[in-house]
Amino acid sequence: MSKAQAATAGGSGRSDAKAQPRAAALVGVLGVVYGDIGTSPLYTLKASLLHFADDGLAAEEVLGTISLIIWALIMIVTVKYVMFVMRADNRGEGGILALMALASRGITSQRWRTVVMMLGVAGAALFFGDGVITPAISVLSAVEGLQVVEPKLHQAVVPISLVVLVGLFALQPRGTGRIGALFGPICALWFTSIALVGLLGIFRQPQILLALDPRRAALLIGAEHLESFVTLGSIVLAVTGAEALYADMGHFGREPIRQAWLFFVLPSLALNYLGQGALMLSDPTALENPFFLLCPELVRLPMVFLATAATVIASQSMIAGAYSVARQTALLNLLPRLTVRHTSVEEEGQVYMPQVNMVLLIGVVTLVLTFRNSDSLAAAYGIAVTGTFLCTSILGIVVARRRWRWPRSVALAVFGGFAVVDSFFFASNLLKFVDGGWVPVVLGAVMFLMMTTWRRGRDLLFERWQADSLPLAMWLSRLPQSRVLRVPGTAVFLTGNLDYVPGALLHNLKHNKVVHERVVFLTVTITDYSTVPAEERAEVEELSAGIHRVRLRYGFMESPNIPRALDECRSLGLALEPMQTSYFLGRETLVPAALPKLSRWRHWLFMLMARNAQSATEFFRIPADRVVELGVRVAI
């Protein structure tokens, strides 16, 4: 149980001891979970109404669009994610990869396991595309408020946005622990502010409250078939960040996220959208920037600063999410080992990944310089979001059937219904492909090819290694008669399959003609659970005198630490002296086979990724002065 879950489990919250952790969790949720969706009012309504603006805006078009936005928030975020998807927790953790692991558990058919894995990979790949676009469009839309305050500042929008974004990425190596303490209060102020200005607009034009009737959305769709379908591609901007509710569930727990959404975030967003709609009813020319023009002139400049802070928080949340997903994909063997630097001695999840940070920075800067305003970037935003929504809905059908034991008709009615809605949003966004929608598609396709290529290459590498290896049982039976010299000390050999002799051991025998007095064959397995309890971490088996086999199990949200895990094996009867222990690793040099099983370009990509992978020494946190690497050429 997480701290947030412990704080909210049971009790009425009346006592100070219970109320304080609950309040702290709710404030923390605002900064980490709702930064992205909370800044959507900056650009959503303008992008949505532009589709009707050519011949002037009618009141029915404004009311119908606002109704679509509000009911999208209710149906997609509240009903789909809060009520249903968040029930699918993988030992308390959420996110598309956790859902993939949950859906694949228990599936015996290799073909269906592959299908489930491809859905998870596709969702994760699209998430990275979303991760590049979110900081760019969020910060641009906030800084554009300056030109509402002073039109002459139009030329400064892009340079200021770049300064803010580059500064944000430059701060990543320092970690977000101290800064994160400010995120919640700032976002609480942000949501309160947008709710108040929204209320001000509603008081001026109460007619906008008619948009709460879902029939207004239906009337718009019935009257404007094509335009309303195209508009769906912009309406979805209102629900960007919905996946964060599920992805961050393990950090805060289910209840604080639900409560913050139902009682604070959703009302604040709805009030602001209604306020912007009220402004559009009374002044259609406000379409230039309805969010900032809704604010009284006296508070516009402070609102620009607050919006910029809120978008920085939203960007920070997305960057941290990209680190988390990248680390998960590496542990699930979908990407090579990446450099992970822990920025906190207390929080395991606070990490910095330099390769991911650099790729995101280059992508974000390129987008800002290419599109130069939030209106153009809005066309590029929806495909990644709706693609991830669709993958989540399909995986939800599998989980509902196999894990929750729902009848097929119920699973299809619920999650299949969500998939149909997601499909409409996705299809609408495909219409914007030429205008910028290609950006997340290309980014997602590149990530998908990288992940599938790495997975296929590693499978081929393992097959080749297994074909050339000696069964461990055979080697153990021959060892007493071999008269191989046993030398003092302990040798730990890392291997991917404990039934075969590690290549590093065979090469050590070939060149040094010795075996250590104590030998440990060690394999590290990443499970499809998010975490593994400490009591289930290690399994020790004595094969013969001085020779042990050790299995270490980690969840895909954890960072392996081999020396620490081996030290904890003392309770299992395996006591190692760290200063007398050497770790033997095999370093493969990959070369093309005579009959390669990978196409030339995929072989090149796999080789490139392998060369840039983090070393096993760093990844498993093994002391560098205790490592012996033995090279071998492998043809694939």
Q: What's the CATH number where 291 sits?
A: 1.20.1740.10
With a cut of 90, say whether residue 200 has pLDDT above it. Answer: yes
Structural Rg of the chain based on CA atoms: 27
Task: List Cα–Cα distances, 511 to 471, 474, 491, 590, 630, in angstroms.
Answer: 20, 21, 15, 21, 10
Same structural domain for residues 550 and 622?
yes
Please give the pLDDT value at position 322. 82
Per-residue model confidence as pLDDT tens digits over 307-359: 988 888 888 878 877 887 888 888 788 888 888 776 655 555 567 888 889 98
DSSP code of 107? -
Amino acid at 594: A
Structure-block tokens of residue 133: 């676009």
Query: Quick check: helix, strand or coil at residue 589?
Result: strand
Same structural domain for residues 503 and 366?
no
Domain assignment present for residue 9? The answer is no
pTM over 0.85: no
Give CA–CA dist 259/267, Å, rounded: 12
Structural domain of 253? 20-456
Same structural domain for residues 433 and 492?
no
Same structural domain for residues 248 and 138?
yes
Among candidate residues 456, 489, 518, the one where a domain is terminated: 456
Could you give phi then psi for residue 225, rounded to 5 degrees? -60, -55
Please give the pLDDT value at position 462. 79
Mean pLDDT of all residues in 540-550: 90
Domain assignment present for residue 95? The answer is yes
Among candidate residues 411, 428, 456, the one where a domain is terminated: 456
**Residue 78, burial from CB neighbour count under 10 angstroms (0-12, 13-18, 19+):** middle
Give CA–CA dist 481/307, Å, rounded: 75
Same structural domain for residues 251 and 348?
yes
Same structural domain for residues 438 and 493?
no
Query: Quick check: helix, strand or coil at residue 334?
Result: coil
Same structural domain for residues 420 and 523?
no
Domain assignment present for residue 5? The answer is no
Among candidate residues 456, 483, 500, the one where a domain is terminated: 456
Query: Quick check: helix, strand or coil at residue 341?
Result: strand
Dmax of the chain from CA atoms? 94
Give CA–CA dist 343/330, Å, rounded: 19
Average pLDDT, the chain: 84
Per-residue model confidence as pLDDT tens digits over 606-634: 888 888 888 888 888 898 888 888 766 66
Domain assignment present for residue 2? The answer is no
Q: Residue 342 pairs with which residues in a beta bridge?
A: 351
pLDDT grade, residue 14 (50/70/90)? very low
Give how many domains the chain has, as a whole number.
2
Query: Quick check: helix, strand or coil at residue 490?
Result: strand
Domain assignment present for residue 173? The answer is yes
Please give the pLDDT value at position 294. 94
Domain assignment present for residue 201? The answer is yes
Same structural domain for residues 131 and 231?
yes
Domain assignment present for residue 71? The answer is yes
With a cut of 70, say whether residue 595 has pLDDT above it. Answer: no
Same structural domain for residues 450 and 550?
no
Same structural domain for residues 476 and 445?
no
